Structure 1
Amino acid sequence: MRPRSLDEVLGQDHLLSADSLLRSAAARGRLPSVILWGPPGTGKTSIARALVSSCPPSASYRFVSLSAVTAGVKEVRDAVDSARRRSAKRTLLFLDEVHRFNKAQQDSFLPVIEDGSIVFVGATTENPSFHLITPLLSRCRVLTLSPLQPPHLSTLIKQASIDSQRGILATINATTVEIEDSAVEFLSLNCDGDARVALNALEAAATTAAARAPALDRRLYVACGDVKEALQCKHLAYDRAGEEHYNLISALHKSMRGGDADAAIYWLARMLEGGEEPLYVARRLIRFASEDVGLADSHALGHAVACHQACHFIGMPECGVVLAHCAAYLALAPKSVAVYRAFGAAQKAVRESAGQNERVPIHLRNAPTKLMKELGYGEGYAYPPDDPDGAASQTYLPSLLQGCKFLEWP
């Protein structure tokens, strides 16, 4: 069911409108080098292939596809050499999972993009800002794909059920396939915008329905139960090491900071249902307890540490409610960033001091040995329990920082 032209691509109207960069480039047969960034199953490979098929015959391109999972610099070099030998026809080199190439491997594309040997199209599910080198980004336009919406998936599912050449009828021994409306709705709502998941689940559901149908009846009926059995559970787009991981933990943190316990519990559930490690979330809650709650409720840190211990003791799924308990507590707690700001100001003072940082004042040094006592370590120190008046006038900061206020607290 892969789109054969740009007109068949679903759900990326912001990239494929009539006056868009890609359509204009394809119409002129002058394709640019681009990075296609988006979640799985949104059409990155399909758009790359459709660009080539949408060019006019007089400016056609040869499509060469590689995957960074299996290819290396040698395969890239071979593709470039082949492109140079075929000077009469330009080559579009498509590299899937481009973020898996290391810096040196990505460097290999720079000269061949620069001299026009190839048109480069890279596909990635990871944020290019973090995973692709700056020189490569400067030579390519980054285009962002969106997850497919339920109406797009519904259209795709219905098309797959009636297409006799590329759809279900091409793989199942049936003359017609009828899909229950509730099955289409359920599938389109539970694939998290991933067309590949939708089509795979549809094929599995059709296989189940075919096994249930009478031997001589070649009219296939796919019910909602077949789709639920095929999908098993809702598909969640989540990568514990990818951008969505950071997006969700950011949403959890900001929801707690804003005092919205409902949102905090929701984002927590999204992370745990996606397979996140509970101890990672617990560690972030500990950080939040000091960074955002701080001195406004010093018990919060103890609660967060206890939450981490509880998660360590009992694991998933039982510790989910412990994390929710702690997240709700932190969201509803009073907030103070005084300690967080004070520590940041102190770090800045240490890093930006002119020359070396001052040595510890002599009266604040400990003197555990005779030599250190003879050198004056600890001399003049006023011990507060014995000399409260002296301690009150005693200074504790280096001389150049006297009077500095890091912690703003009444």
Structure 2
Amino acid sequence: MSDLFSHHRDTTLARVAPLADRLRPRSLDDFVGQEPILGQGRLLRRAIAADRVGNLILHGPPGVGKTTLARIIAGSTRAHFSSLNAVLAGVKDLRAEVDAAQQRLAHHGLRTTLFIDEVHRFNSAQQDALLPWVENGTLNLIGATTENPYFEVNKALVSRSRLFRLQPLEPEHLRQLLARALHDPEVGYGTRPIVVTPEAADHLVDVASGDARSLLNALELAVETTPPEADGAITIDLAIAEESIQQRAVLYDKQGDAHFDTISAFIKSLRGSDPDAALFWLARMVEAGENPRFIFRRMLIAAGEDIGLADPQAMVVVEACAAAFERVGLPEGLYPLAQAALYLAGADKSNSVLGFFDALTGVRTANRQQVPSHLRDAHRDGQAFGDGVGYRYPHAYAEHWVAQQYLPSALQGEVFWQPGSLGWEGRRREQLQQRRAAQLAAAAELAADQGDVLSSSPDDPQLERWLQRQATAEGERLDNLRRRFWDGAHWQRNDRVLVLEARSLLWALDPLAATPEGGVVITVGQPSDLERLQAQLQVLDALRQPQLLVVPADAPASLQSQLEPGEGSRFDWVVARQPWRGLNAQQLDKWIAAVGAQLSANGQWRLLFSTPQLGPAAGLQALSRAAEPALQPLLEELSALERQQLQQEPNPGQLARQALIDQGWRVEQQHWQESLQLELSAALTARWLTPESTYLGQLNALRGSPLTAAAIEMLQQGFHRHLGQQLPQTVAHTLLRAQRP
């Protein structure tokens, strides 16, 4: 009997359910929008198809499909699916779900997926109650929330879950839903003669602002409240549409995600000197009922942090406007509120006051912070200890300034404040630099007078920092090169990136961090490279790991066969450092054709080529020119051969540029040179001068005859006499960026 009643209840609910609920899609193929995370080849779609979703948190504004997507996952998983609404459920309900999940796992080996709608509504205790069972795999969690999970959800739960942000639906997606609602005979109005005029449809789509539920609720209200005409048809015109969805909702909660996002957008607009955007976000906050005192407090912070000494009056203006607001109140107080925002948006910008935090670091790390004797208080015991002796009174000198040292000895020469080039501080920048140079000279003079030795002690912080920098010079050089490689890259979270011929993860780290909803595919030339990268990938989460493919240098066409078919497998970026080494122009053409076919319409190439400009002999010649005249004739001959070899070798960057141009790509290139200091070691010397070395083979081929054993011995001795010294090197870099015209 209970089953009969349950069936009758479900049937009745399905018949009277709101249109938005009846139209929920039942499969991914029916799901509208969110292609960046659910398109063909995208990570979440692959995970759903493989039934490997795991713990998942979906966040985004209302009406974009979070609950619908959870129900689709429920229909595709082989696990038992349960759901709770955090508004109604408590710890008791959670325990009941956990007990049932344990029973299923123990008796039937069946996993349980628990969907929690509005998961941010759970308090800390309720979220903590979930954690042990998510941790040990008793439950797979799918949470849905309109708030930022990083702020509103337990950090431990967030760290164990994949996060996907759903965006407001685009107008074309809303039009698809509108058409389906009007024509679907089962769950929509397909059996009724309903006409929506183009103007009414445009208005509904526009005011819904990406919220499918708002659109469908407005349509339902319009249809159900509009009387039919004589022929039974119902016409929804612009006037009816305006009544059905009268005002665009301002999504704003003073304690929620929209509150922080909107004030963040406002402050960033001020920082970016965009008065129009600043006024828009200010108006949005005022319209939503934000407290103007809160806005004034944030503008005071911006006046200090983002404008600072470029315009010292910014703080004064905001404070005066805040006082005026307190005096006149609303609504007239909106004038000084807007005036303060416009002044900050138009002011010169500088964040040089952040130098305070560098000074704070110096306080916490410097070992010797004694006040220099000439700066100490001379009124108490100056005669006994010489405190204050040597102090120069600035007002007794021209321009009321004199060069002397004010920092502790251990920090002499340290720079904490770097003035910008704009506004008030920009006009004082050159003067400050001159005075700092004079202060360093004054410090040395004072130290000589007092017998101090500057920067010569092994435990001196400045010297220690210099030694540490030298020890990590190569890592810093590569990091700087990586930053220049990605300079100007504007990532989207759903971008797909193809990294060609990777020998490490260095060039994939940026896209791995920036494209969590897209994906990274890395190709290697041979299985040994694949094994090395697989070992490095063990530290990454399974769903964050890039896809690794072996694409031999002579088989670029094999790339396409290893990728998933369809538009969703296209890439937004193709990047590489030193690709296609040793290939001729014809082979390179094949690679660019094969890879270019995988790029999306707006996809971009980014290729970096680096070629040395000096060989070992030229470097040794520079080191030993004065000390070893007998070695110079041999080094001059070999240096000339090295230059000849470098000129004869095809420039891979220019070959790639020409191949891209020939295939219709618009190419931009950057050239720069980098001076390096290569430490001369025994291993490096052995690599160059062993009989089977590539270096000697190239030299012998150019000479037409091999070097004699005596000449090689002379070279070895010359290198060994300079072991540990820095061999000067120059590398020419070429960065290519290419897009479709």
Q: Identify the TM-score tier after normalising by the shorter chain.
A: 0.7 to 0.9
Aligned counterpart in structure 2 of residue 163 of structure 1, from 184, 188, 195: 184
- CA distance in 2 between counterparts of 1:293 and 1:31 reads 46
CA–CA distance in 2 between the matches of 1:165 and 1:313?
Answer: 62
1:64/1:273 Cα in 2 relative to 1: closer, same or farther (>3 Å)?
same
Quick one: distance in 1 between partners of 2:173 and 2:44?
20
**Distance of 1:230 and 1:115 partners within structure 2:** 49
Matches within 5 A, 1:139-288: 139-167=160-188, 175-210=192-227, 213=228, 218-288=232-302
Deviation at 1:225, TM superposition (A): 1.6
Task: Give the structure 2 partner of residue 337 of structure 1.
Answer: 351
1:104 to partner: Cα distance: 4.1
* Structure 2: distance between partners of 1:167 and 1:9: 16
Checking the alignment, whether the CA contact within 8 Å between 1:150 and 1:193 is kept in structure 2 is yes
CA distance in 1, matches of 2:279, 2:157: 39
**Structure 2: stretches of 5+ with no match in the other structure:** 1-22, 419-428, 433-741
C-alpha contact (below 8 Å) 1:160/1:168 kept by paired residues: yes
User: Structure 1 CA distance, aligned partners of 2:256 and 2:167?
Assistant: 16
Conserved in 2, the CA contact under 8 Å of 1:162 and 1:176? no
**Closer/same/farther in 2, CA of residues 20 and 298 from structure 1, 3 Å limit:** closer
Which of 64, 69, 82 aligns to 2:82? It is 64
Is the contact made by 1:67 and 1:98 (CA closer than 8 Å) also made in structure 2?
yes
Amino acid of the structure 1 residue aligned with 2:357: G
Q: Secondary structure at the match of 1:190?
A: helix
Q: Deviations over 1:149-190 (max 9, x none)?
A: 111112112222333543368xxxx93322222111111112
Alpha carbons of structure 1 residues 319 and 3: separation in structure 2 relative to 1, 3 Å: farther
User: Aligned partners of 1:361 and 1:72: how far apart in 2?
Assistant: 67
Q: Report the CA distance shift for 1:184/1:82 in structure 2 as closer, same or farther (over 3 A).
A: same
Give the whole-Å Cα distance in 1 for the aligned partners of 2:291 and 2:187: 40
Contact 2:61-2:168 at 8 Å conserved across structures: yes
What's the counterpart of residue 34 of structure 1? 56
Q: Return the alpha-carbon distance in structure 2 between the equivalents of residues 362 and 191 of structure 1.
A: 71
- Asked if the contact 1:168/1:203 (under 8 Å) is kept, the reply is no
Structure 1 residues 29 and 342: alpha-carbon distance in aligned structure 2, compared to 1, 3 A threshold:
closer
Deviations 1:251-274 (A, max 9, x none): 333333333323322333343344
Change (3 A) 1:300 1:184: same
Equivalent pairs, count: 390
* C-alpha distance 296-82 of structure 1, shift in aligned 2 (>3 A): same
Give the Cα separation in 2 of the matches to 1:95 and 1:48: 9
What code does the residue aligned with 1:142 have? L
CA distance in 1, matches of 2:354, 2:361: 11
Are residues 1:76 and 2:79 paired?
no
Take 1:12 and 1:128, find their aligned partners in 2: how far apart are those partners?
19
Secondary structure of the equivalent of 2:234?
strand
Quick one: which amino acid aligns to residue 303 of structure 2? A
Q: Partner residue of 1:323?
A: 337
- Provide the secondary structure at the position in 1 that maps to 2:29: helix
Indicate how the Cα distance of structure 1 residues 37 and 323 shifts in structure 2: closer, same or farther if over 3 A, else same. Answer: same
- Give secondary structure in 1 for the equivalent of 2:84: strand
State whether residues 201 and 230 of structure 1, in contact with CA within 8 Å, keep that contact through their aligned partners in structure 2: yes
Indicate the larger mover: 295-304 or 14-23.
14-23
Which structure has the larger Rg?
2
Q: 1:21/1:258 Cα in 2 relative to 1: closer, same or farther (>3 Å)? A: closer
Residue 359 of structure 2 is aligned with which of 346, 361, 365? 346
2:29 corresponds to 1:15: no
Partner amino acid for 2:359?
A
Fraction of identical pairs, as percent: 42
TM-score of the superposed pair, with normalisation by structure 1: 0.79
Instruction: Report which structure shows greater RCO (CA 8 Å, sep ≥6).
Output: 1
Question: What is the rounded CA distance, in whole Å, between the counterparts of 1:114 and 1:316 in structure 2?
Answer: 52
Confirm or deny: 8 A CA contact 2:373 2:388 kept in the other structure. Answer: no
Q: How far did residue 47 of structure 1 move?
A: 0.4
* Structure with a larger share of its residues in strand: 2
Look up the SS of the partner of 2:169 in the other structure.
Answer: coil
What's the counterpart of residue 6 of structure 1?
28
Conserved in 2, the CA contact under 8 Å of 1:35 and 1:121? yes
CA gap 1:362/1:277 in 2 versus in 1, 3 angstroms = farther
User: Which residue is 1:47 aligned to?
Assistant: 69
Which residue of 1 is the match for residue 649 of structure 2? none
Alignment check: 8 A CA contact 1:364 1:396 kept: no
Q: Evaluate the alpha carbon distance shift between residue 237 and residue 400 of structure 1 in structure 2; reply closer, same or farther with a 3 A threshold.
A: same
Structure 1 residues 4-44: Cα deviation after superposition (integer angstroms, max 9, x where no partner): 22222111122223334444444444542211122211111
Q: Pick closer, same or farther for the CA change 1:71–1:351 going to 2, 3 Å.
A: farther
8 A contact 2:366–2:411 mirrored in 1? no
